[in-house]
Amino acid sequence: MAVAWKDREALHQPEWPDPARLEEVKRKLHALPPLVFAGEARQVRSALAEVAAGRAFLLQAGDCAESFHDYERLTETGAAYAAVAIRQRLQILLQMAAVLTYGAALPVLKVGRIAGQFVKPRSSPTESGPEGEIPVFRGHMIHDDAPTLAARTPDPERMLQGYLYSTSALNLVRAFTKGGFADLTQVHGWNQDFVASSPQGRQYEALASEIERALAFMAACGIDLEATPQLHQVTCGRRTKGCCSTTRRR
């Protein structure tokens, strides 16, 4: 008999000081629209089945934990820092997937640790700080990172803030993946400026040129690249501790 995830013991949980306030926040979250839809989850499950059968690769990349601070500051040019960072992470993920797909001739399921990675399990519940023993930092969706007892007190309202930041990140990822940025025809554009002149960057450019020639051959044969869904990233998926972007070739 299958065991539901709600019936299993949840470990690495913070000690919430106000259970009633926690339940109220959970009620509010339950009433909000889902970040990921059932159809998207089913698509990812189907893709994972292909990975398990050896007919595809799974590529997962991203930060150990995301930060609320990224959504509260600007770059030196005045752009939203989070938007720039998400675009750069997506570029790297697409580069790695292009190399794997081209080298192995297999589709790649791409899973990004992004848009909800605001919490993290810890091996110890406490750590030493200027004020002595304080709760260990569990992520910005639980409490602040400042090394004080007041900052490390779990605040359930932060889960609502995490939902809002996850929503904005997911909207941007969906816009990128469905708006043409993640198309295989943009393979040259994914090379980051800071690696383009390195040996690895030059190797990637050589591979991108080969892919570009293959696409030109397909176009010459009469294949409509714009209307070919296999060349586009189209789905988003979910991760256990929040929401993440998951894109795959169909």
Q: Do residues 89 and 110 lie in contact, with contact meaning Cβ atoms separated by under 8 Å?
A: no
* pLDDT on residue 196: 63
- pLDDT tens-digit profile of 37-70? 899 889 999 999 999 999 999 999 888 889 999 9
pTM comes to 0.78
127 against 103, higher pLDDT: 127
Provide the pLDDT confidence category of residue 213 given band limits of 50, 70 and 90: confident
Mean pLDDT calculated for residue range 197-208: 77
Mean pLDDT, the chain, whole residue set: 83
Mean pLDDT calculated for residue range 62-80: 93
- Rounded (5°) CA angle 136-139-145: 65
Mean pLDDT calculated for residue range 199-225: 77
User: Residue 111 gets which letter from DSSP?
Assistant: E
Two structure tokens written together for 234:
């189209």
- pLDDT tens-digit profile of 175-195? 988 887 777 766 766 765 656
| Percentage with pLDDT > 90 across the chain | 44
Whole-number Å distance between alpha carbons of 89 and 213:
26
